[in-house]
Chains A and B, each alone.
Chain A
Amino acid sequence: MLHSTAIVFTSFAYLGLLFAIAYYADKRADAGRSIIASPYIYSLSLAVYATAWTFYGSVGRAASDGVGFLPIYIGPTLMIALWWVVMRKILRISKQNRITSLADFIASRYGKSALLGGLVTVIAVIGILPYISLQLKAVSNSFTILVHYPEILMPTRVGEAPIREDTALWVAMILAAFTIVFGTRHLDAAEHHQGMVAAIAFESLVKLVAFLAVGAFVTFGIYDGFGDLFARAAAVPKLHAMMSPLEGVAGGYASWVWLTILSMMAIMFLPRQFQVAVIENVDEKHLNKAIWLFPVYMLAINVFVLPIAFGGLLRFPDGSVDADTFVLTLPMVEKHEWLALLVFIGGLSAATGMVIVETIALSTMVCNDLLMPVLLRLRSLRLNERRDLTRLLLGIRRSAIVLILLLGYLYFKLAGEAYALVSIGLISFAAVAQFAPSVLGGIFWKGGARLGALSGLTAGFAVWSYTLLLPALARSGWLPTHLLEQGPLGIELLRPLQLFGLSGLDQITHAMIWSMIANIGAYVAVSLSVSQSADEHRQASLFVDVFKQTGEVGGARFWRGTASVPDLYSLLARFLGVAAADAAFAEYASAKMLRWPDDPLVADAELVHYVEVQLAGAIGAASARVMVASVVKEEALTIGEVREILDEASQVVVYSHKLEQKSRELEAATAELREANDRLTELDRLKDDFISTVTHELRTPLTSIRAFTEILLDDPEVEVEQRKKFLGIITKEAERLTRLINQVLDLAKIESGKADWVESDVDMKEVISDTLAAMDQLLKEKDIDIQARLPEQVSVVTADLDRMIQVMLNLLSNAVKFCDSTNGWVEIALAERDGCLRIDVRDNGRGISPEDHEAIFSKFHQVGDTLIDKPHGSGLGLHISRQIVEHYGGRMWVESSLGSGARFSFTLPTGARA
C-alpha cells in the first residue's frame, strides 16, 4: 500500500536532492570549477526536450497511432545534424550580443525592436501555456492514480476537485517556488544558470532510467522479450494494423512530414530548448558531441514505447485504462509498487525539468521584452531616477514565474480535459514553429526586415490561434461548437478545421500548412517591399555576417556620439548592482591594460557598446538600447552611413583579398626566380666541372711531354732506341693535346649555336666510303676486317658533309680502337626505312655494360678498364657526334653488353630538312 504521505514525502525528497545538486553546482561555479562545462552535461540538458509528454504521452500516442509517435523524435534527430550550420551561428551571435532569450534574439536582429520582442513573448507565453498545463496534468494525474494503488482508477473528473485537494494547483505552486530558487539567483539572464543545468541533466538521467526500467519490466518481466510481445500483439487484428507506419496516422504521409518538420522547429525554438541550447551553452565545441549524443538519448527513450503500448493494450483490452497512463498502470496492475513509484518520480523529473526551464525562459522574456520596455517608457514611474533597479527586476521575474504557472494551471482547468497529452503538446509546437521564418531568415538573409518579421509572426500566430487555439477552446465548451461545424457567421470556407476547404488532414498538419503559408508569405513579401532603417541594416549585417567579424567590437563601429564614463557606470550599477557594474568595468579596463577605477577610461563608442551589451544581458537588447540612449548623446546614423561603414568593412575584405593575391603572385615569382637561380647555379657548377675536367685532360698529356723532354734534355746519354721511343710519345701526346683543344673549341661552337653548318645534299653511301678510304692506312696497320653492307641507292640527306664525315670517323675509329685486338672486325650497315636513314657500326670488342650506355655520350666520359691501357680519346668525340646527329633531327644510341661487342647506331631523317 502506497500512502499519499509516502508519495508526497518521496517527491519532496527527490526535489530536495535536485536542489542539493543545483546548490552544489552553483557553489562549484562560484568557485570557478564548473561541472557543467562538459559536452555530456550539455547533451543531457538538451534532453529537457523529453517532458512528461514523452514520458507518458508517447505510449498514449503509440497506443492509438502505432509508430505515429516517432516523427516527434525523428525531427530533432534530423535537425541536430544541421546544428553545426544553424545552431553554431545562433550561438555565436547570442554570445556576442549577450542575448537573454529567443524574444531578445529576434528583437535584436530586427533593429532591437521592442515591439517585436513583445510580440514574440506574447506568442511564446500563449503558445507554451498549454504545454505547461500538460505537465501539471501529467503530474497530478499520475499522483492521483498512484494514490489509489493497488486499485486502477482513472482521474476522470480532476477539474472538479475542491481547490484544497487540487493536486495540480499544489504542483504548480511548488514548482513556482522551486523555479524561483533555481532561476533567479543571478540577475544577469545571459549568464549561465549552472545549478539549474546540472539539475536538469540529472533529471534527464532519472527519467531515462525510469522509462527503461518500466520498458524492460514490461518486455522481459510480463512478456518473454520483444519477439513474444510483438507476436502476441500481431495476433490481435487492431494491434497488427498499428505496426504499419502510415496506416494508423490520419493524413498519412503529409502528417508524418509535417510532424517531422514541426518537431525540427521545436527542438530549436521552444523557449526551454533555446534556453539550454543557446543561453546555457558554455562552449561552442559541445555541439560536436551533442550532435550524436542527443539522438542516442532520443533513441534510448523511444525503444520501449511500442512494447509498453502493446503490453498495455493487451493487458487492458477493454479500454478502461487511459493509454497515457500505461507506463504507470502496468507496474501497478502487476503489483510492483516500487517500480510504480520510480515511474512516478521519472514522470515528475520529466515534468519539473520542463516546467523549470520553460518558466525561467518565459519569465526572462516577459520581464525583459514585455514589461521592461513598457515600464521604462512610462515616465510617471520615474524608473530612470531610481538608483537601484535590481530588486525591481528580480521581483518582476519572480512574479512572472508565478503568473505563468498559474496561467498554466488555469488552462489545465479550462481546456485540459479536451485533449490527450500529445495533442496539447503539438499545439505548443505549432506555436513556436512560427518563430522559424524570422529566426532562420534573420541569420541567413540580410533582407529580412522588422516589418516583415512583425507581419510574418502576426499572420502565423493569427492562423495558429484560429485553427488550433480556437477549436481547443470550443471543444472545452468556452466557445460555441457550431463555430467549428459551420464556420463563423455560417461561412463554411472559414471553418477553423477545414480552412478554405482544405480537408482530409489532421488538425496539426492543417494548421501548420496555413500558418506557415501566412507567416513565410508575409515575412518575405513585406521584407521585400519595405526599406530597412539604419538600425535594422546594421543588426542584419552583424547577425548574418557574424563569422566574418572579430570580437565584440563588431557593433561599436556603428556608434557615434558623446557620453561620459560616470553616466555609463551609474546606468550599469542601477540595473546590475554596484558590485556587478564594478566587475564589468574592471574587466573592460583590464582588456585595455588599465586599472578600474584608478585609470581614466575614455567614453568612446567601444565603451558605450560594451555597456549596452552588458545591460542587454540583464534587461534585453531593446530595453538596453533605450536605457543607453537616455544617458548618452547619440548622433543617429543614417542608413547611408551604416551602408558606408559596412562597405568599408567589405572593402577591407576586398583589399585584403587583393593583398593575398599579390602576395601569392609574389610568392610564385620568388619561386620562379629561385628556380632560375638554381638552374644558373647548376649551369655554373657544370661549367666549373667542365673547366676542371678540361684542365685535367690538358695536364695529363703535358705531364708526359714535360717529363720526357726533361729526361732528354738532362741526359744526352739516352740510347738512340729509347730516345726515338720517347720522342714518339712526345709527338703523340702533343697530337692528343691538339685534338683535345680542337674538340673543346668545336663543342663550344656547337653548344653556343655559333657553329657554321654548310648544308648540301649528302649521300651517306659516299660519306661511308670516303671515311673508309681516309682510314685505310690505320685499318691495314691493325689488320682489321671491315665489312660495309650498303644498298644500291639511298636518299640524300641535307646536312653538312664534313660533319657527317666527322661522325662516321668518330664511330669507326672508336670501333677500330676497341675491337678485338687479334681477330678484330668491324661491320657497317646502311639502310633506309620510314623516311629515315639508319647507320650501324658494329665491332667485336669487349662491349659496354648497359649502365654506361648513356654515360658514354656525355662529356669527358671514358669507360675505363683495369686490364688494358686507358684509351687515348678526348672523351668528347661521342658527345659531339650525338650533338651533330641531333642537330639534323636524328638519334644516336648504342646496343651492347659486356663481352659481346657493341653496335653504335644513328638515324637521319631524309628530306626532313629539304
Chain B
Amino acid sequence: MSKKILIADDEPNIVAAVEFLLQRSGYEVHVARNGDEALKAVEDCNPDLVLLDVMMPLRSGYEVCKRIRERADWGHIKIIMLSAKGRDAEVSKGLSIGADLYVTKPFSTRDLIAKINGLLQRP
C-alpha cells in the first residue's frame, strides 16, 4: 500500500507541481489550501507525511505543526515545513516546534523527493 502525503499550501501552482512529482513517485496525495483544511485532512486521511507551507490563510503552518505534535496518536506523522521565508530564525522555529525538516522555497525537486523518500523509509 502506498504511503499517503498531505500537501498544505495556498499557492495552487506550487501544489500542482509537488502533487505531480509525488504522484509520479508513487505516493497517494491529498491537498489542503489553508491551515484549517490541513488539520481536517490529517484527521480524515491519516497521512504518513505532511508538506506544510508556513504562510497559509486561517492557520499558519507553525500552528498546524504544533497541533499535530500535540496529538499522541499522530506521533508517527512526518512533517516537512516548506516556506519562502528562509531566515535562520524561521528555520529553527519550525524545527523547534516539531517539524522533521525545513525546506526553503524555491527548492530542488530532486532534493525534495529524496528527503521525502528518506523520511518515509526510516522505521
CB of A335 closer than 8 Å to a CB of B: no
In contact, B85 and A714 (Cβ under 8 angstroms): no
Please report which residues of chain A, range 710-725, place their CB below 8 angstroms from some CB of chain B when the two chains form the complex.
Answer: 710-711, 714-715, 722
Please report which residues of chain B, range 5-19, place their CB below 8 angstroms from some CB of chain A when the two chains form the complex.
Answer: 10-14, 16-18
In contact, B106 and A865 (Cβ under 8 angstroms): no
In contact, B17 and A708 (Cβ under 8 angstroms): yes
Q: Mark B46-60, 1 if CB is under 8 A from A, else 0.
A: 000000000101100
Shortest B86–chain A CB gap in Å is 8
Output the nearest chain A residue to B21 by Cβ-Cβ distance: A711
Q: Mark B101-120, 1 if CB is under 8 A from A, else 0.
A: 00011111110000000000
In contact, B17 and A700 (Cβ under 8 angstroms): no
In contact, A711 and B84 (Cβ under 8 angstroms): no
Output the nearest chain A residue to B16 by Cβ-Cβ distance: A729
Measured in the bound complex, the distance between the Cα atoms of B85 and A439 in whole Å is: 84
CB of B63 closer than 8 Å to a CB of A: no
Taking A710-B110, A711-B109, A866-B34 as contacts, is the C-beta distance between A704 and B57 under 8 angstroms?
no
A residues in contact with B16, CB < 8 Å: 704, 729
In contact, A733 and B13 (Cβ under 8 angstroms): yes
Which of A23-31, A94-102, A312-320, A691-699 forms contacts with chain B?
A: A691-699
Q: Report which of A703, A707, A710, A865 forms a contact with B84, defined as CB distance below 8 A.
A: A703
CB of A185 closer than 8 Å to a CB of B: no
In contact, A707 and B34 (Cβ under 8 angstroms): no
In contact, B105 and A866 (Cβ under 8 angstroms): no
Measured in the bound complex, the distance between the Cα atoms of B16 and A722 in whole Å is: 11
In contact, B14 and A707 (Cβ under 8 angstroms): yes
Taking A696-B55, A696-B84, A699-B84 as contacts, is the C-beta distance between A870 and B109 under 8 angstroms?
no
In contact, B24 and A715 (Cβ under 8 angstroms): yes
In contact, A704 and B13 (Cβ under 8 angstroms): yes
In contact, A703 and B34 (Cβ under 8 angstroms): no
CB of B28 closer than 8 Å to a CB of A: no
Shortest A692–chain B CB gap in Å is 7
Measured in the bound complex, the distance between the Cα atoms of B57 and A864 in whole Å is: 6
Measured in the bound complex, the distance between the Cα atoms of B34 and A710 in whole Å is: 26
Shortest B41–chain A CB gap in Å is 14
Measured in the bound complex, the distance between the Cα atoms of B57 and A324 in whole Å is: 100
Shortest A694–chain B CB gap in Å is 11
A residues in contact with B104, CB < 8 Å: 699
Q: Mark A842-865, 1 if CB is under 8 A from B, else 0.
A: 000000000000000000000011
Central interface residue in B24, B37, B58, B84, by most chain A CB within 10 Å? B84
Shortest A338–chain B CB gap in Å is 92
CB of B69 closer than 8 Å to a CB of A: no
Measured in the bound complex, the distance between the Cα atoms of B85 and A391 in whole Å is: 98
Taking A710-B108, A714-B110 as contacts, is the C-beta distance between A700 and B11 under 8 angstroms?
yes
In contact, A707 and B18 (Cβ under 8 angstroms): yes
CB of A702 closer than 8 Å to a CB of B: yes
Central interface residue in B11, B18, B104, by most chain A CB within 10 Å? B11
Output the nearest chain B residue to A866 by Cβ-Cβ distance: B34
B residues in contact with A733, CB < 8 Å: 13
In contact, B57 and A699 (Cβ under 8 angstroms): no
Output the nearest chain A residue to B55 by Cβ-Cβ distance: A696
Q: Mark B61-74, 1 if CB is under 8 A from A, else 0.
A: 00000000000000
In contact, B106 and A706 (Cβ under 8 angstroms): yes
Shortest B28–chain A CB gap in Å is 19
Measured in the bound complex, the distance between the Cα atoms of B107 and A76 in whole Å is: 95
Please report which residues of chain A, range 657-714, place their CB below 8 angstroms from some CB of chain B when the two chains form the complex.
Answer: 692, 695-697, 699-708, 710-711, 714
Taking A711-B21, A866-B33 as contacts, is the C-beta distance between A703 and B105 under 8 angstroms?
yes
CB of A834 closer than 8 Å to a CB of B: no
A residues in contact with B106, CB < 8 Å: 699, 702-703, 705-707
A residues in contact with B24, CB < 8 Å: 715
In contact, A711 and B108 (Cβ under 8 angstroms): no
In contact, A729 and B13 (Cβ under 8 angstroms): yes
Shortest B88–chain A CB gap in Å is 13
Output the nearest chain B residue to A715 by Cβ-Cβ distance: B24
Central interface residue in B17, B20, B36, B87, by most chain A CB within 10 Å? B17
Shortest B69–chain A CB gap in Å is 23
Q: Mark A779-800, 1 if CB is under 8 A from B, else 0.
A: 0000000000000000000000
A residues in contact with B36, CB < 8 Å: 866
In contact, A699 and B105 (Cβ under 8 angstroms): yes
Total A residues in contact with B, Cβ cutoff 8 Å: 27
CB of A756 closer than 8 Å to a CB of B: no
Shortest B67–chain A CB gap in Å is 17
In contact, B17 and A704 (Cβ under 8 angstroms): yes
CB of A869 closer than 8 Å to a CB of B: yes
Q: Mark A386-402, 1 if CB is under 8 A from B, else 0.
A: 00000000000000000
Shortest A458–chain B CB gap in Å is 91
Q: Mark A732-746, 1 if CB is under 8 A from B, else 0.
A: 110000000000000
In contact, A869 and B12 (Cβ under 8 angstroms): yes
In contact, A707 and B58 (Cβ under 8 angstroms): no
In contact, A711 and B20 (Cβ under 8 angstroms): yes
A residues in contact with B57, CB < 8 Å: 864-866, 870
In contact, B10 and A707 (Cβ under 8 angstroms): no
B residues in contact with A702, CB < 8 Å: 105-106
Measured in the bound complex, the distance between the Cα atoms of B19 and A729 in whole Å is: 15
In contact, A707 and B17 (Cβ under 8 angstroms): yes
Measured in the bound complex, the distance between the Cα atoms of B56 and A814 in whole Å is: 22
Shortest B26–chain A CB gap in Å is 14
A residues in contact with B86, CB < 8 Å: 699
Shortest B68–chain A CB gap in Å is 19
In contact, B14 and A700 (Cβ under 8 angstroms): yes
Central interface residue in B13, B36, B86, B87, by most chain A CB within 10 Å? B13
Taking A702-B106, A710-B110 as contacts, is the C-beta distance between A870 and B20 under 8 angstroms?
no
Central interface residue in A699, A703, A870, by most chain B CB within 10 Å? A703
Output the nearest chain A residue to B87 by Cβ-Cβ distance: A692
Please report which residues of chain A, range 863-906, place their CB below 8 angstroms from some CB of chain B when the two chains form the complex.
Answer: 864-866, 869-870
Shortest A710–chain B CB gap in Å is 4
Output the nearest chain B residue to A713 by Cβ-Cβ distance: B109
A residues in contact with B108, CB < 8 Å: 706, 710
A residues in contact with B110, CB < 8 Å: 710, 714
Output the nearest chain B residue to A730 by Cβ-Cβ distance: B13
Output the nearest chain A residue to B90 by Cβ-Cβ distance: A692
B residues in contact with A866, CB < 8 Å: 33-34, 36-37, 57-58
In contact, A870 and B11 (Cβ under 8 angstroms): yes
B residues in contact with A722, CB < 8 Å: 20
Shortest B112–chain A CB gap in Å is 9
Output the nearest chain B residue to A868 by Cβ-Cβ distance: B33
A residues in contact with B109, CB < 8 Å: 706-707, 710-711, 714
Output the nearest chain A residue to B84 by Cβ-Cβ distance: A699
Q: Report which of B13, B20, B85, B107 forms a contact with A692, defined as CB distance below 8 A.
A: B85
In contact, A870 and B105 (Cβ under 8 angstroms): no
Output the nearest chain A residue to B112 by Cβ-Cβ distance: A707
Output the nearest chain B residue to A863 by Cβ-Cβ distance: B57
Output the nearest chain B residue to A707 by Cβ-Cβ distance: B17
Output the nearest chain B residue to A704 by Cβ-Cβ distance: B13
Measured in the bound complex, the distance between the Cα atoms of B20 and A696 in whole Å is: 23
Shortest A118–chain B CB gap in Å is 90
Shortest B13–chain A CB gap in Å is 4
B residues in contact with A708, CB < 8 Å: 13, 17
Output the nearest chain A residue to B104 by Cβ-Cβ distance: A699
Q: Mark B20-49, 1 if CB is under 8 A from A, else 0.
A: 110010000000011011000000000000
5 contacts between A and B (CB under 8 A): A699-B84, A699-B105, A703-B107, A704-B14, A708-B17
A residues adjacent to B (C-beta < 8 A): 692, 695-697, 699-708, 710-711, 714-715, 722, 729, 732-733, 864-866, 869-870
B residues adjacent to A (C-beta < 8 A): 10-14, 16-18, 20-21, 24, 33-34, 36-37, 55, 57-58, 84-87, 104-110
6 cross-chain pairs, A with B, having the tightest CB-CB distances, nearest first: A707-B17, A699-B84, A864-B57, A704-B13, A703-B105, A703-B106
Known: A703-B105, A707-B14, A866-B57. 6 other contacts (CB 8 A): A699-B84, A699-B86, A700-B84, A711-B21, A864-B57, A869-B33
